[in-house]
Structure 1
């Protein structure tokens, strides 16, 4: 176990005590989970938590998110279980990514495993592809339009575009790892493959990928795919089935199990 992993687990235990919660699942999100962290990348820790039973027995709406300020390279935030399950039924892509994270800091009551067992029923290709399209368009418009661009932002446009391609070809949630998307979806040996490979190697080596001349071949690929994916997205299906009753039952089960009721 690395020193940082130990620190993260200690912070999560401290959160449980301070907030009076039980953390059901905690994982890494962001660039470290996607496989292209810089040496100084934050640790983006995300978690699902549950409060004691009485907290839910109220006529008042209460805050269902816990966030901690970024400090010591740690960005920690989590969602209440009820919020989580409502987002799950809408096929929320960030939540689906949490459940597929390669870096897990803890799990109680088999929470993530049980949600993964329902994910095929909840998954909506249409909701997912629109999420990734919105992310790709926004980052492309903001960071990659000039002659000199924030070159590291290519990853934050290419990954969602490749995620869209995965959804179109396989009808399933894309994998977290950026390299898995590249290896599966892009032709090997071409200019695009070479340029992306060079950027990835530089980023992993700790190079500062800040302002540099734009890469016309990658920009051309992005613009062509954004236009094509926009048209394809409208034809995709939504979620496969209604799982509201199953999620209601899961909420009650996890609530009781978490507090040994």
Structure 2
């Protein structure tokens, strides 16, 4: 497992009721600012049998499981392959970050095919996802004063800017610090977050942070306007064929 975690998560994969096509680590570990008490966010794709899709009952397309393992809270969320691909095609940056996470717990051929098709899903309109997510996290920061939503605000804006400029889905905040207009105090905020998952952003100048967030919104707007990303995804047919083939192969 290529992840900053010292636990074997293989048994978690084996215990799932249907095969997992992949599972990766998301959340704070992926974003580069985990705390000593952060939970482990596992995300992935399961494969429902054909019988569950053609029967009378609605299939269980999304599954969530939370449990405690040796004092660490584990959070596993998986989607059936068809639902996950539909989310990919809805300009959802969040699921692409999960798919492309370098913190891989379980993988296989289908995972590799999805990763290979991911560039054909990216569009200039993914900026809307990151713009909206950043605004939501900023409102949460203003309400709670917690450091976590403040870091999420900066992370999502910088991820969106990098995507618009380079076509790269990069969710790791420390890697994004060299992005144009990234505030110089972000490393200190990342270091402070390591002490407590829900710690307050004490010492943060909220007026300065607000100005920096507004400036990054403008950079994201400008980056979207000049982006070379296309207007539409180009891999609908290929993804559709993948879903059918993998399902029938079981």
Question: What TM bracket, shorter-length normalisation?
Answer: 0.7 to 0.9
Q: Please point out which of 183, 197, 204 is paired with 2:178.
A: 183
Residue 62 of structure 1: aligned partner? 59
Residue 132 of structure 1: aligned partner? 130
TM-score, normalising length from structure 1? 0.81
2:38 aligns to what SS in structure 1?
coil
Residue 14 of structure 2: aligned partner? 13
Residue 94 of structure 1: aligned partner? 94
How far 1:113 sits from its partner (Å)?
A: 1.3
Q: Please point out which of 205, 219, 236 is paired with 1:244.
A: 236
How far 1:206 sits from its partner (Å)?
A: 5.6
Distance 1:204 1:155, change over 3 A: same
Please say if 1:255 is aligned against 2:250: no
CA distance in 1, matches of 2:211, 2:161: 16
How far 1:9 sits from its partner (Å)?
A: 2.1
1:144 aligns to what SS in structure 2?
helix
Kept after mapping to 1: 8 A contact 2:85/2:239: yes
2:7 aligns to what SS in structure 1?
helix
The worse-fitting range, judged by mean Cα deviation, of 76-85 and 221-230 is: 221-230
| Structure 2 portions without partners, runs of 5+ | none
Residue 187 of structure 2: aligned partner? 197
CA RMSD of aligned residues (A): 2.7
Q: Please point out which of 155, 161, 174 is paired with 2:157.
A: 161
Kept after mapping to 1: 8 A contact 2:35/2:195: yes
| Structure 1 portions without partners, runs of 5+ | none
How far 1:67 sits from its partner (Å)?
A: 0.8
CA distance in 1, matches of 2:180, 2:231: 23
TM-score, normalising length from structure 2? 0.84
Larger Rg, first or second structure (1 or 2): 1
How far 1:253 sits from its partner (Å)?
A: 2.1
Q: Please point out which of 15, 28, 33 is paired with 2:30.
A: 33
Spell out, residue by residue over 1:205-257, the C-alpha distance to the aligned partner (whole angstroms, 9 max, x if none). 6697315243243321112332554576578652242x332222211221244
CA distance in 2, matches of 1:206, 1:150: 10
Please say if 1:220 is aligned against 2:222: no
The count of corresponding residues between Structure 1 and Structure 2 is: 242
Please say if 1:144 is aligned against 2:142: yes
CA distance in 2, matches of 1:183, 1:231: 18
CA distance in 2, matches of 1:14, 1:175: 31
Please say if 1:111 is aligned against 2:106: no
